C-alpha cells in the first residue's frame, strides 16, 4: 500500500481538479465555488479531496463555517493562478483562429527579413482573409509530418526533391551605396575594391558558406593574396547590407535578397561583369497535406509572381529546365 501511494504522489497530478481548487481558493467557500462551476458542493469537495490525495498533503483547513488555505495550498495557488489564465487565453486564441484560413511558412531568417516580409503587405492586401504564420529559423521540418504548409529552402538542385519549385538562383557581387561611390575613386576593375572596406559574414569561412566570401571572389578575379583597406564582419546578411546602405564599405551581396535596394537605387552593383555565380538556389516546397488547399495555392502563386519580379530585377531569365512555373 505504501509503494502504491508513493508511486501515485511521484507522478504529475491530473489537471482536471485544479479548476475546483482555484475556485475554492478564490472564494474560500465550497458552496460559492460550486455555484461558479455549476456543480454540486459535494462534487467540488470530492475533487479537492482527490487532489489532496494525489499531492499527499492538505490544501485547506476546514472549519465549521470557513475554509482556509494551508501553506501548501498557498504555494499551489500561486502556480495555478498564473497557469490557468494563460491556458484559457491560449484556448480562446485557438478557437478564434480555428475557423480562419491560414498558411504556415517556414524559411531561414535572412530570407524572411530581407525578401519575404517586406513583400507580405501586398499579399495581405490582396487576401485579407488569409492569415500568414512565419517560422523564421534554420530548423529543417519534415513536411509530411510537421504542421507546415510551405517551406522556402536554400540549397543546390541536387538536394531538392522533384516536387520543389525553383524561385530564383543566386550569385554574389560587390555592391555599395551611391554616396559612398561619389566620395571615393571610381571602381572600374576588380583590384579597385581593395581601396575600400570589404563587408562580409563572420562565419563565411565554414565549408558550406565558403563561396560567399570575398576571398573566393578575389581569387576568382586574379587577386589571390590581395588585402583590402580593412575588413568589417557581421553575423547576419541583413546587418551586412545595412552597413553597406549606410556607406561603411562594399558588401559582397546576393542580388535576390537586395533586389528592392537595387531597383530603387539604394545599392549599386559596381562590377556587374564580375558577378560570381553560385550552385545554390531558392526553392518552394508545399506540404503534401496542404497543397490542395486554395489558400496555400494562392500563396504559392503569389510567391511565383514575386519571384518572377525578382528574376527580372537581378537580370536572371527563366530557365525552362529549372523553373516550374506556378501560373
Confidence at 325, pLDDT banded by 50, 70, 90: very low
pLDDT at 148: 86
pLDDT at 65: 81
In tens, the pLDDT along 51-108 reads 999 899 999 999 888 899 999 999 999 999 989 888 887 777 676 566 678 899 999 8
Query: What is the arithmetic mean of pLDDT over 103-126?
Result: 93
Domains of the chain plus CATH, in order, are 2-98 (1.10.10.10), 101-327 (3.40.190.290)
Confidence at 206, pLDDT banded by 50, 70, 90: low
Which residues have C-beta within 8 Å of that of residue 120, sequence separation ≥ 6?
132
Q: What angle do CA 143, 88, 37 make, to 5 degrees?
A: 140
Alpha helix positions (H), 2-148: 2-10, 18-27, 30-37, 41-55, 71-98, 109-111, 117-126
Tell me, yes or no, if the pTM score tops 0.75. no
184 close to 268: Cβ distance less than 8 angstroms: no
Please tell me whether residue 169 adopts helix, strand or coil conformation: strand
* Mean pLDDT comparison of 13-22, 81-90, 246-255, highest-scoring range: 246-255
Rounded distance between C-alpha atoms, residue 234 and residue 240, angstroms: 6
Confidence at 11, pLDDT banded by 50, 70, 90: low
Q: Regarding predicted confidence, which is higher, 107 or 205?
A: 107
Mean pLDDT of the chain: 87
Q: Regarding predicted confidence, which is higher, 76 or 236?
A: 76
Instruction: Give the CA distances from residue 299 to residues 60, 122, 125, 205, in Å, rounded to whole numbers and listed in that order.
Output: 56, 11, 12, 35
Q: What angle do CA 245, 303, 323 make, to 5 degrees?
A: 100
Which residues have C-beta within 8 Å of that of residue 291, sequence separation ≥ 6?
297, 300
Q: Burial-class residue 78 by CB neighbours within 10 Å (0-12, 13-18, 19+).
A: exposed
Amino acid at each position: 500500500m505504501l509503494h502504491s501511494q508513493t508511486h501515485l504522489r511521484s507522478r504529475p497530478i491530473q489537471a482536471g481538479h485544479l479548476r475546483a481548487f482555484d475556485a475554492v481558493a478564490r472564494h474560500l467557500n465550497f458552496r460559492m465555488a460550486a455555484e461558479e462551476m455549476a456543480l454540486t458542493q459535494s462534487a467540488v469537495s470530492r475533487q479537492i479531496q482527490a487532489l489532496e490525495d494525489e499531492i499527499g498533503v492538505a490544501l485547506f483547513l476546514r472549519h465549521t463555517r470557513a475554509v482556509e488555505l494551508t501553506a501548501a495550498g498557498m504555494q499551489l495557488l500561486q502556480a495555478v493562478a498564473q497557469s490557468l489564465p494563460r491556458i484559457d487565453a491560449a484556448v480562446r486564441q485557438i478557437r478564434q483562429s480555428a475557423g480562419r484560413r491560414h498558411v504556415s511558412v517556414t524559411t531561414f531568417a535572412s530570407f524572411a527579413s530581407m525578401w519575404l516580409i517586406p513583400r507580405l503587405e501586398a499579399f495581405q492586401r490582396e487576401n485579407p482573409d488569409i492569415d500568414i504564420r512565419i517560422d523564421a529559423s534554420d530548423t529543417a521540418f519534415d513536411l509530411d509530418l510537421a504542421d507546415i504548409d510551405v517551406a522556402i529552402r536554400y540549397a543546390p538542385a541536387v538536394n531538392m526533391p522533384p516536387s520543389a519549385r525553383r524561385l530564383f538562383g543566386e550569385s554574389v557581387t560587390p555592391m555599395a551605396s551611391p554616396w559612398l561611390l561619389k566620395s571615393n575613386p571610381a571602381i572600374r576593375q576588380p583590384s579597385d575594391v581593395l581601396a575600400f572596406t570589404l563587408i562580409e559574414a563572420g562565419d563565411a569561412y565554414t565549408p558550406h558558406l565558403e563561396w560567399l566570401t570575398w576571398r573566393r571572389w578575389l581569387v576568382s578575379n586574379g587577386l589571390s593574396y590581395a588585402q583590402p583597406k580593412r575588413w568589417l564582419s557581421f553575423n547576419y546578411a541583413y546587418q551586412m547590407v545595412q552597413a553597406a546602405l549606410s556607406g561603411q564599405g562594399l558588401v559582397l551581396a546576393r542580388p535576390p535578397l537586395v533586389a528592392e535596394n537595387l531597383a530603387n537605387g539604394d545599392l549599386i552593383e559596381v562590377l556587374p561583369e564580375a558577378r560570381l555565380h553560385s550552385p545554390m538556389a531558392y526553392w518552394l516546397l508545399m506540404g503534401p497535406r496542404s497543397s490542395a488547399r486554395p489558400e496555400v495555392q494562392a500563396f504559392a502563386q503569389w510567391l511565383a509572381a514575386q519571384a518572377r519580379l525578382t528574376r527580372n530585377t537581378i537580370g536572371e531569365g527563366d530557365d525552362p529546365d529549372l523553373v516550374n512555373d506556378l501560373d
